[in-house]
Chain A
Amino acid sequence: MPGKRRQVAVSGEEPRGDVLVEVKDLKKWFPVTGGVFGRLVGHVKAVDGVSFYIKPGETLGLVGESGCGKTTTGRVILRLLEPTEGAVYFEGANIFDLNREQMRRLRRQMQIVFQDPYSSLNPRMTVGDIVGEALEIHGVARGRSKEKRVRELLDVVGLNPQHIRRYPHEFSGGQRQRIGVARALALNPKLIICDEPVSALDVSIQSQILNLLEDLQAEFNLTYLFIAHNLSVVKHISDRVGVMYLGQVVELGGAEELFANPLHPYTEALLSAIPLPDPELKRDRIILEGDVPSPLNPPSGCHFHTRCRWVQPICRDENPPFVDVGDEHFVACHLRKTREKQ
């Protein structure tokens, strides 16, 4: 049993009006089976009660270690995975209430760019087909007008429109990621989930893709959920940042504010790990002890208590509420108040 039910500060029964996406108490548990008869032996709690919202036109960064549930969160929001519990409101409507056909239509509004530009493009299709297929399926354009639109899109993402008949393997990693972006843009979506879109690229190419994403956001008024594990990248591109640990968001706030004034001990530790560009500068590194506990059996109370240097008895028993400490800076930590007094 995961502690007490987590209070969600952003909740209230009605979805907020001024946001594009609102995620409410989202859970995704993967069943784990064992033995000859496939007996259920437990659940991997990949996403375990996550709540946040994204406003139109902003970029929300989501950071955390490998396996903390960032990617799963992104996929559940797009309903590429079905949730175990919780709701995702897109423009006020819970997407999990939609039937298959309604969901298919909603996909025009929300798209995804995957981490690996090698495996996310169908090797048997030409660039024109990859980018243009959705246009045809959704009845936006076909034939000539489809090709025209695809050429436009290729141009927008900085590829040569003449390469429309080429196959993905004829492009470099950075170019392939541009194809992925062009594909996501094809239907003029409002939301694009960028699932570690630059992690698989060379550092020199990373900045090109990041700049492209920023330019496109300005041009088409896009909203991004930007999932990454590179803190510098997230700080650079995000308006607000959420920090995930073991399937939960532990802290969320404006990018500047969060990086300047981290309130959760896990955020503190993460930030202290960012390398400084000046070798003369030293900073107190907070080294976390031990490994991330298994999401199969997460610690009781606050999931972070096993590695927290400030741990108190209450942390073991109670899951801390996720509360707004002012200025849309949310944190889930029992010790926030006591530590402020110190």
Chain B
Amino acid sequence: MTAYIVRRLALMVPLLVGVSLVTFTLLYLVPGDPVQSLVGERATPQMVESIRRELGLDLPLHLRYGRWLARTVRGDLGRSWATHRPVMVSLIDRFPITLKLSVLAFALSTLLGVTVGVATAVREEAGGDHLARWALLGGQSVPIIYLCLVFMYVFGVWLRLTPVSGLGDGSIRYFLLPAGALGLYTSVYKARMTRSAMLEVLRQDYIRTARAKGLSERVVIYRHALKNAMVTVVTVLGAGLSALLVGSVLTETVFGLPGIGKLQIDGVYARDFPVVMGCFLFQAVVLSFTNLAMDMAYAWANPRIRFD
């Protein structure tokens, strides 16, 4: 087990180098001149040229990447071209916001998704099942931005239960709406996956065996069926969690939450290379760790998996 983890961690190094290389090249190819957007329209050509040289943008791609890599392995992600803040500091500042949003949304969507999935699977083809499935289909078809706006209007403006947007003092009240919208939105897929996994499992003979043993229906559903269905569902949960942790650009933007997603999208608009690179690298690391945790969860869910 330890050997496995060490090997997985070692494998992250080439992975991160690969990710950074691809992102760096893509940024290089992106249209739009970063210097121009930094200095604005009225700068003289000499000024533009000197800034370009200062930032090293006059160098060819491989040299620029080499310089970035050399600095990064020493733990220095550079400073934002726009604000001159160290990128690392921005990431550390903003990650707790994304983390809080993600954990809340994840807990809500898992609870909702798995519960609805199990309930609809157990009452397959009953009226409630149909209703829930239509509702889920509707939920999946609505864009997240729209859902965010509806939440803002209903809970923030109309019912005045929560702040409409912004971070405020960073207390949990400000996260209720974005996490609610995000959680509801991401629960749909989980519910559908749970439902189909449960239906698959409920058809198995070992469920009949469990009933023949004289177990109560609750034990049959939760201990025998759901535990087996979770083997499939854990995949979706893991993927969902990593998708949340890397920052939800749309939700953070709509609700004005300064998380990783917002940092990244602002960086992209400003062609702020160090920020964008820092975000991508950070997200790759987060994804790698979530995946590793997910594989551990698989082993918990399925005794047929062994690490060696």
Known A-B contacts A75-B208, A120-B208; the reply to A167 vs B213 at CB < 8 A is no
Query: Is A236 interfacial (CB 8 A cutoff)?
Result: no
In the assembled complex, the Cα of A123 lies from the Cα of B231 at a distance in Å of 11
A120 x B216 contact (CB < 8 A)? no
B156 vs chain A, min Cβ distance (A)? 40
With a cutoff of 8 Å between Cβ atoms, the chain B residues found around residue A107 in the complex are 212-214
Number of interface residues of A (CB under 8 A): 28
Query: Is B227 interfacial (CB 8 A cutoff)?
Result: yes
With a cutoff of 8 Å between Cβ atoms, the chain A residues found around residue B172 in the complex are none
In the assembled complex, the Cα of A167 lies from the Cα of B303 at a distance in Å of 8
Q: Interface size class for chain B? A: 20 to 34
With a cutoff of 8 Å between Cβ atoms, the chain A residues found around residue B204 in the complex are 119-120
A111 x B212 contact (CB < 8 A)? yes
With a cutoff of 8 Å between Cβ atoms, the chain A residues found around residue B205 in the complex are 114-116, 119-120
Contact with B along A162-174 (1 / 0, CB 8 A): 0000010100000
Query: Is B79 interfacial (CB 8 A cutoff)?
Result: no
B214 x A108 contact (CB < 8 A)? yes
In the assembled complex, the Cα of A121 lies from the Cα of B212 at a distance in Å of 12
Interface hits, B276-308 → A, CB 8 Å = 301-304
Main secondary structure of the interface of A (DSSP, over half): loop
Interface hits, B198-245 → A, CB 8 Å = 204-206, 208-216, 219, 224, 227-228, 231
Contact with B along A83-116 (1 / 0, CB 8 A): 0000000000000000000011101100110111
Interface hits, A122-145 → B, CB 8 Å = 122-124, 133-134, 137-138
B271 vs chain A, min Cβ distance (A)? 51
With a cutoff of 8 Å between Cβ atoms, the chain B residues found around residue A167 in the complex are 303-304
> Which of A105, A115, A121, A122 is within 8 Å of B214, CB to CB?
A105
B215 x A124 contact (CB < 8 A)? no
Query: Is A78 interfacial (CB 8 A cutoff)?
Result: yes
Query: Is A281 interfacial (CB 8 A cutoff)?
Result: no
With a cutoff of 8 Å between Cβ atoms, the chain A residues found around residue B228 in the complex are 122-124
Chain A residue at smallest Cβ distance from B206: A122
Query: Is A45 interfacial (CB 8 A cutoff)?
Result: no
Query: Is A1 interfacial (CB 8 A cutoff)?
Result: no
In the assembled complex, the Cα of A38 lies from the Cα of B206 at a distance in Å of 29
B208 x A122 contact (CB < 8 A)? no
Of A75, A116, A124, A169, the most chain B CB neighbours within 10 A belong to A124
Of A115, A120, A169, the most chain B CB neighbours within 10 A belong to A120
A187 vs chain B, min Cβ distance (A)? 8
Known A-B contacts A80-B208, A167-B304; the reply to A122 vs B224 at CB < 8 A is yes
With a cutoff of 8 Å between Cβ atoms, the chain B residues found around residue A124 in the complex are 227-228, 231, 301-303
A80 vs chain B, min Cβ distance (A)? 6
A122 x B212 contact (CB < 8 A)? no
Query: Is A183 interfacial (CB 8 A cutoff)?
Result: yes
A169 x B214 contact (CB < 8 A)? no
Of B204, B301, B302, the most chain A CB neighbours within 10 A belong to B204
In the assembled complex, the Cα of A120 lies from the Cα of B219 at a distance in Å of 17
Chain B residue at smallest Cβ distance from A108: B214
A122 x B302 contact (CB < 8 A)? no
B202 vs chain A, min Cβ distance (A)? 12
With a cutoff of 8 Å between Cβ atoms, the chain A residues found around residue B206 in the complex are 119-123
A177 vs chain B, min Cβ distance (A)? 12
With a cutoff of 8 Å between Cβ atoms, the chain B residues found around residue A133 in the complex are 210, 213, 215
With a cutoff of 8 Å between Cβ atoms, the chain A residues found around residue B215 in the complex are 133-134, 137
In the assembled complex, the Cα of A114 lies from the Cα of B212 at a distance in Å of 11
Contact with B along A197-234 (1 / 0, CB 8 A): 00000000000000000000000000000000000000
Give 7 closest A-B pairs by Cβ, nearest first: A107-B214, A120-B205, A134-B213, A122-B206, A104-B214, A119-B205, A114-B205
Q: Which residues does A use to contact B, with CB under 8 Å?
A: 38, 75, 78, 80, 103-105, 107-108, 111-112, 114-116, 119-124, 133-134, 137-138, 167, 169, 180, 183
Q: Which residues does B use to contact A, with CB under 8 Å?
A: 125, 204-206, 208-216, 219, 224, 227-228, 231, 301-304
Known: A119-B205, A120-B209, A183-B209. 15 other contacts (CB 8 A): A78-B212, A105-B214, A107-B214, A112-B212, A116-B205, A119-B204, A120-B204, A120-B205, A122-B209, A123-B228, A124-B302, A137-B213, A137-B215, A169-B304, A180-B209
Q: List 22 A-B contacts (CB under 8 A).
A: A78-B212, A107-B212, A107-B213, A112-B208, A112-B209, A112-B212, A114-B208, A115-B205, A119-B204, A119-B206, A121-B209, A124-B228, A124-B231, A133-B210, A133-B215, A134-B213, A134-B214, A137-B213, A137-B215, A169-B303, A180-B209, A183-B209
